[in-house]
A and B are shown apart, each in its own frame.
Chain A
Amino acid sequence: MTTLAPDVPAAVESVEAVRAARRRPRRRLLLVWAGLALATVAAFLARVLLGDFTFTIPDAVRIVLGEEIPAVSFILMETKLPRAVLAVLVGLALGVAGAIFQGVLRNPLASPDIIGVAMGASAAACFAIIELGQEGVSVALWGAAGALMMAAVVRLAGGSGSQLVLVGVGATVALQALVQYLFTRADEYDAHIALRWLTGSVGEATWSQIRLVVVGLLVLLPLTAMLAKSLGIAELGPDFATGLGVGPRRTDLVLLMAVLLVALAVAVAGPVSFVAFLSGPIARALNGGRRTLVGAGLTGALIVVAAEYPADYLFTDVNYPVGVITGAVGAPFLLWLLASGRTGRSAR
């Protein structure tokens, strides 16, 4: 006890240093959240107010508050606004889900797009469109069921960790062949619908879809937040995690949340390419190499909303589904992210 006394100033100093060091990441995290949220709001406003029909902010506010302006109201309330809102929600769900996958499976490449969950949804939806002649809600349900089924198959056949990722990759290749086969059996019209569905699109957003997604997110996100506390430990690998009291059951539960989030997003918008893949690494890079689920969700929302604008207006004669833009721009960005090692750890 007595030996401590002469060192008190030094001890206080080092305590201060430690405190400051722990405060810095915290501050950076808040900065990242705020920045991403601001950027998302900006992209959202640009999407809603600009484009082939421009609104002023007071006009838009009046319309949203219920004032009827013939024709103009319709454009805002039935096309632009629902598309933008759905884009934010879908991006949020995919971003969080992707970050969870990458964390639990300990590989920045192991997102739902790569290990077959999204492909399961695509194959099921194509089957519903082409073979069963379904459309609308039932295609969405088929898609969600496909995602869940594929996740279950990969989990059962692949065990855990690296094997699970590889099994998912193999299954994706096989399902890809199945989708191509379905394409050859479709007539031209159906095939084109299916192709749009495959890339992911929020072009047919309706308020009832949005209500569904909001309810889903209100249930899933708090649950995920509760479970995600163990994510940091799960990232240490199954052996360490079990030793620290986070057993495989717990890890599975976190993954299940992620799969449900993907299924929800896929059901309304299709598997929007690369959003789940990109959000985690970008948020992590912004946050100085630390994982942040909130950041990943915001990044996902930002990506989808921002991609909506060029998808709609870049080419005057074609309306691309938003997934084309996220895929085309996202892919090289991801390669660069991995190549420059900015994911905060070695690209494994």
Chain B
Amino acid sequence: MTHGLALSRANAGHSLTGGAPRPARVLPARATALLVAVAAVAFVLSVSVGSVGVVVPWAALDPDHTSYAVAAARLERTVTGCCVGAALALSGALLQGLTRNPLADPGLLGITAGATIGMVLAVAVWSVQTLSGYLWFSFLGAALAAIVVHLLASLGGGAATPGRIVIAGAAVTAALTSWTTALLLTDHERFDRLRFWMVGGLGTGYDALQAVGPTILAGIVLGLLGTRLLDTLALGDDLARGLGRNVVRDRLVVGLAVVLLAGSATAAAGPISFVGLIVPHAVRAMVGSSHARVLPLSLGWGAVLLILADTVGRVIAPPTEVQVGIMTALVGVPVFFLLVRRGAGVRW
């Protein structure tokens, strides 16, 4: 019995990858060491490289240094980027486990669109001014969008298969986007302020971080607590129930974590797609599909990906900068195509 269970645990990734179960290719210790090394390089690069030129990274810590202002601003941006990237990647990993859907990503499933319209509504209709104020609208929008997408995808009997969820997400995104546009068209000035936020950027700084920090932290804790839940859920609802899990409660816990993480990240940096899609897949390719490894490593690699994307965006088209949301889309789309062509969404 224990043997059989171990076997099915090892196969837990089967439904996720759509192909053969993924064994670990890299030892977790080595993967972690690699992460730490790359993260350090990315962090230093992000602080020292930018449109104003290269500065030494330690200038950010020394108020008397001539480049202090530049380096400090970049440090602020880097720290924000780390938090947002980690939150997005973890929410993507959780969502992929929760829906057993390799194509799940908060951006593709309409969750960030929900958060966006929540915030636009808060600003436009109820004149909420502070980030900590409209953060809650962002959560509400994200949660509602997630529920609607799931309901829409599981209509007409049968399970909500990957392809159906993605298309339902696209439909909901289209609907929410047209409402957002209607709201924005009523007011030139408001649109002018929001269009910079809507592209997904990290210019918001510590204020934003202070507002969303606690909820991101809560989301991370809940998400990491969900490790065991997800491993059992991956076996299928019936088997999970047979193993004594309360499937509905488990799903709610993980779903709450997803909403907290995606909502906070969207509120802080605008809608950013594809981070939640690529990072978990890359991590799974390295260390296999056990959630005990995938979740923490996704957290780290998400942060690294986002600050790298932001750094590249800053220097790729001087004197302007390309927002991080564009950069992640550039990297993400080919990965998405590859996943689809490999058959990730075939079972309709």
Interface residue ranges, A against B (CB under 8 Å)? 107, 109-110, 113-114, 157-159, 162-163, 165-167, 169-174, 176-178, 180-181, 183-185, 188, 191-192, 195-196, 198-199, 273-274, 277, 315, 318, 320-321, 323-324, 327-328, 330-332, 334-335, 338-339, 341, 346-348
Contacts and interface: CB of A to CB of B under 8 A. Distances in A.
28 contacts: A107-B167, A109-B167, A157-B337, A163-B346, A167-B340, A169-B166, A170-B108, A170-B340, A173-B107, A174-B330, A176-B177, A178-B329, A180-B326, A181-B323, A191-B191, A191-B192, A199-B185, A274-B178, A318-B186, A324-B181, A324-B182, A327-B179, A328-B178, A334-B175, A338-B152, A346-B158, A347-B152, A348-B164
A195 B174 contact: no
Contacts of B169: 169
Contacts of A157: 337, 341
A183 B180 CA distance: 15
Contacts of B158: 346
B346 A162 contact: yes
A113 B345 contact: no
A180 B198 contact: yes
Given A170-B333, A171-B333, A331-B178, A346 B155 contact: yes
A233 B322 CA distance: 47
B337 A170 contact: yes
B155 A347 contact: yes
A280 B4 CA distance: 50
B23 to A, nearest CB: 27
B185 A324 contact: yes
B148 interface: yes
B327 to A, nearest CB: 9
Nearest to A169: B170
Contacts of A341: 155-156
A141 B157 CA distance: 44
Nearest to A191: B195
A67 B346 CA distance: 62
B77 to A, nearest CB: 16
A331 B179 contact: yes
B195 A170 contact: no
A189 to B, nearest CB: 9
B306 to A, nearest CB: 14
Contacts of A167: 336-337, 340
A220 B127 CA distance: 49
A331 B172 CA distance: 8
Given A163-B346, A180-B325, A184-B196, A114 B152 contact: no
Given A166-B163, A181-B323, A338-B152, A331 B199 contact: no
Contacts of A324: 178, 181-182, 185
B48 interface: no
Given A178-B329, A335-B148, A338-B155, A183 B199 contact: yes
A320 B185 CA distance: 8
Q: Which 5 A-B pairs have the closest CB atoms?
A: A327-B178, A331-B175, A346-B156, A180-B199, A177-B329
